[in-house]
Structure 1
């Protein structure tokens, strides 16, 4: 699928996974670096989002350094997994969720301003989904760099 993308899309995906400009005008900065207009950059990011090639543009902050966060697991019957995953993803406090091959098959990370708000969000997800959630405390902090170098020449 990467080979079908326009060169601008490929550069945005490859070059700005990390080191996104920290300025009042980051999209203009990117446009200047790539020799295109700011509108072209914004439109390309909108297209990548619509194609679900990116889910968000934002910082990665160490867990619990600002606010409160938790890894949460749920056991959801296969026939209801898509509905519950969509419900979970709709919460702005959830930065990603994913399926695992396990009895606990839906996992997500939730972040809130403080622990009471975090607990309230998780409780609401339980109520709305109809399934209990298991909150897992962080015992050790590991950082996995999820930046992937892409071959822009395909």
Structure 2
């Protein structure tokens, strides 16, 4: 799917931050010269098409609680079932398959490390699989934004 001109402008302008105000979609629309309804419709269309996975904040995990990257080595015939179990936790904000012995990776975020440890223990008990727990030791900031519009 090729993004519409509005979608390209929306992504280019706001992929690194949304307005912090009571009506962010209205402020975005004013910046883009369109209506708030057009912004919301555009975002919904991008999400339904699978082009956009989420709109929301990214928090510095160490200031908002604790987080860890975890992985499981799941037998292929159980992958869908185990991924569904992992996704049942609201603390899971990514859950994806990788081509590796550890083929199911997910990120857990919670109020403290003990909370995350409890979830990892529950998952091990429920699935019989031992999670690989990879807490972040050093943060590296990488700009993952990509320009969609030609720059003059």
Whether TM-score is above 0.5 comes out as: yes
Alignment of 1:23-42 (within 5 A): 23-42=21-40
Task: Return 5+ residue gaps in structure 1 as ranges.
Answer: none
Asked if the contact 2:10–2:32 (Cα under 8 Å) also holds between the matched residues in 1, the reply is no
In 1, the alpha carbon distance for the partners of 2:126 and 2:91 equals 15
| Match for residue 150 of structure 1 among 145, 148, 151 | 148
Structure 1 match to 2:101: 103
Distance in 2, matches of 1:115 and 1:124, equals: 14
Deviation at 1:72, TM superposition (A): 0.5
Secondary structure of 1:103's partner?
coil
SS of 1:65's equivalent? helix
CA 1:140–1:22 in 2, change beyond 3 Å: closer, same or farther? same
RMSD: 2.3
Aligned residues: 151
Question: Aligned with 1:108: secondary structure?
Answer: strand
SS of alignment partner, residue 37 of structure 2: helix
Q: TM-score, normalised by structure 1?
A: 0.82
Partner of 1:136: 134
Q: Within 2, Cα distance between the matches of 1:96 and 1:60?
A: 13
1:59-70 pair list within 5 angstroms:
59-70=57-68
Per-residue deviation at 1:130? 4.6
Greater than 4 Å deviation, 4+ residue runs: 127-130
Distance 2:43 2:141 in 1: 26
Shift of 1:61: 1.9
Q: Deviations over 1:42-79 (max 9, x none)?
A: 12112212222222212222232210101101111223
Note the residue ranges of structure 2 that are not aligned, 5 or more in a row. none
* Cα distance in 2, alignment partners of residues 106 and 19 from structure 1: 29
TM-superposed CA distance for 1:111, in Å, is 0.5
TM-score, structure 2 as length reference: 0.83
Asked if 1:6 corresponds to 2:4, the answer is yes
